[in-house]
A and B are shown apart, each in its own frame.
Chain A
Amino acid sequence: MTSPRRRPQLMRQRARSAWLFLAPMLIVLAAVAGWPLLRTIYFSFTDASLADLEASRWIGFANYFSILQMPSGRVIYDGLLVDPVWWRAVWNTLRFAVISVTCETILGMIVALVLNAEFRGRGIVRAAILIPWTIPTIVSAKMWQWMLNDQFGIINDVLLRLGLISTKIAWTANADTAMFAVLIVDIWKTTPFMALLILAALQMLPQEIFEVAKLDGVSPWRVFWRVTLPLIRPALMVAVIFRGLDALRIFDLIYVLTPNNVQTKSMSVFARENLFEFDKFAYGSAASTLLFAILALLTMLVLWLGRVRLDRGY
Chain B
Amino acid sequence: MKFPHAFLAFALGAVLAAGPARAVDLSMVSGDTGVGQKVLREILDQYEKKTGNKVTVVPMPPSTTDQFGQYRLWLAAGNSDIDVYQTDVIWAPQLASQLVDLTEATKDVVGAHFPQIIQSQTVDGKLVALPIFTDAPALYYRKDLLDKYGVKLPATWAELADTAKLVMDKERAAGNKDIWGFVFQGNAYEGLTCDALEWVMSNGGGQIVEPDGTISINNPKAAAALEMARGWVGTISPPGVLAYQEEESRGVWQTGNAVFMRNWPYAYSLGESEGSPIKGKFDVTTLPPGSGEGARPAATLGGWNLAVSKYSKNPDAAIELVKWIASPEMQKYRALNASYLPTIQALYDDADIARKQPVIPRWKEVFLNAVPRPSAQAKVRYNEVSSQFWTAVHKTISGEGTAADNLADLEVSLTKLKGAAW
Contacts and interface: CB of A to CB of B under 8 A. Distances in A.
A286 B399 CA distance: 32
Nearest to B70: A276
A86 to B, nearest CB: 14
Contacts of A277: 65, 68-69, 72, 383, 387
A54 B220 CA distance: 45
Contacts of B241: 170, 173
Interface in B336-365: none
Interface string B370-409: 0000000000110110010011001100111000000000
Contacts of A272: 69
A279 B94 contact: yes
A48 to B, nearest CB: 10
Contact of B186 (A168, A173, A276): A173
Interface in B6-33: none
B355 to A, nearest CB: 36
16 contacts: A51-B98, A151-B178, A169-B239, A172-B243, A173-B242, A173-B243, A173-B244, A174-B242, A174-B398, A261-B188, A262-B395, A272-B69, A277-B69, A278-B383, A278-B384, A278-B387
Nearest to B395: A262
Interface residues of B, number: 38
Contacts of B391: 260, 262
Contacts of B416: 76, 78
A273 interface: yes
Nearest to A255: B66
B251 interface: yes
B245 to A, nearest CB: 10
Contacts of A237: none
Nearest to B73: A276
B97 interface: yes
Contacts of B238: 150-151, 168, 170
A130 interface: no
A149 interface: yes
A78 B242 CA distance: 31
B186 A260 contact: no
A311 interface: no
B383 A279 contact: yes
A276 B72 contact: yes
A280 interface: yes
B173 interface: no
B132 to A, nearest CB: 24
Contact of A175 (B69, B244, B252, B400): B400
A150 B239 contact: yes
Most B Cβ at <10 Å: residue of A52, A78, A278: A278
A35 to B, nearest CB: 15
A175 B398 contact: yes
Contact of A149 (B65, B76, B186, B240): B240
A50 interface: yes
Contact of B97 (A51, A152, A169, A172): A51
A50 B76 contact: yes
Contacts of A169: 239
Given A150-B239, A273-B387, A279 B381 contact: yes
Contacts of B387: 260, 273, 277-278
Interface residues of A, number: 31
A260 B383 contact: no
Interface in B158-208: 178, 186-189
Given A151-B240, A173-B239, A262-B395, A276 B69 contact: yes
Contacts of A150: 238-240, 243
Contacts of B242: 170, 173-174
Contacts of B251: 151-152
Contacts of A50: 72-73, 76
Most A Cβ at <10 Å: residue of B188, B243, B387: B243
B189 A170 contact: no
A260 B239 contact: no
A259 interface: yes
Interface in A255-269: 258-262
Contacts of B187: 173, 260
B86 interface: no
A149 B372 CA distance: 32
Contact of B76 (A53, A152, A168): A53
Interface in A30-55: 49-53
Contact of A259 (B68, B189, B384): B189
A173 to B, nearest CB: 3
A52 B383 contact: no
A259 B189 CA distance: 9
B257 interface: yes
B73 A170 contact: no
A143 to B, nearest CB: 16
Contacts of A53: 76
Contacts of A168: 238-240
A265 B171 CA distance: 39
A174 B188 contact: no
Given A149-B240, A168-B238, A260-B189, 6 more contacts: A151-B240, A151-B257, A170-B243, A173-B241, A261-B394, A262-B188
Contacts of B381: 278-279
Contacts of B72: 50, 276-277
Contacts of A262: 188, 391, 395
Interface string A135-156: 0000000000000011110000
A169 B240 CA distance: 7
Interface string A270-293: 001100111110000000000000
